[in-house]
Amino acid sequence: MNPRSSEDLFDLAPVVPVVVLSDAADAVPMARALVAGGLPAVEVTLRTEAALGAIERIAAEVPDAVVGAGTVTTPEQAERAAAAGAGFLVSPGCTAGLYEAMAATGLPTLPGVSTASEAMALLERGATALKFFPAEAAGGRAYLTSLAGPLPQVRFCPTGGVTAASAPDYLALPNVGCVGGTWLTPADALAAGDWERVGQLASEAAALAPAR
């Protein structure tokens, strides 16, 4: 079920849950709840020691999930995430070296940008699917609207400050393929193992897909 290209990531679901896990044991029930709610793509951020183990478990035990590694900031992290079974890679920003390492894995990638110049630099390398981060702090919907004119071939996944309330406005933009959000997996729900709540939030988010 893993996407073959970066653009394919946009077709999986309107919202990609951005998850921080402190316990790899939570990975499988969380992923199953998200998938059941209609969100098959799950971005596990490499911000904790449990992250790679969580990716391994989801990849092995939740076949309907497409698990990716987020917060990839070094070539080594890209390699280790790929080895753990990640189906895609996401970075908060991007350098030439990091992009080369991510591309070398053969996995779909969403390299992060926050300016037109950064987007153009990646466009020169053939990347047309990008992460826009931090979305709200970097200009939000208005900034992405401004980029649509000069860079019509680029599509974005805005992440950072996006909420259930603001997601529909982002998704209505022609150059937005999906959004990334942390609201799908609240810390208190993860701590309590409240997978029913996670599934409900996922179901509500899955329904945000706009008519094109």
* Cβ contact 89:65 at 8 Å: no
Strand order in the sheet with 155-158: 112-113, 129-132, 155-158
**Which of 7, 43, 61, 118 is an active site residue?**
43
End-to-end CA distance of the chain: give it in Å, rounded. Answer: 24
Instruction: Check if 131 is active-site.
Output: yes
- Count of CB atoms situated within 10 Å of the CB of 58: 30
Q: Which of 56, 131, 136, 204 is catalytic?
A: 131
Q: Transcribe 53-115 into DSSP letters.
A: HHHHHHHHH-TT-EEEEE---SHHHHHHHHHHT-SEEE-SS--HHHHHHHHHTT--EE-EE-S
> Annotated catalytic, 43?
yes
Active site residue ranges: 43, 131
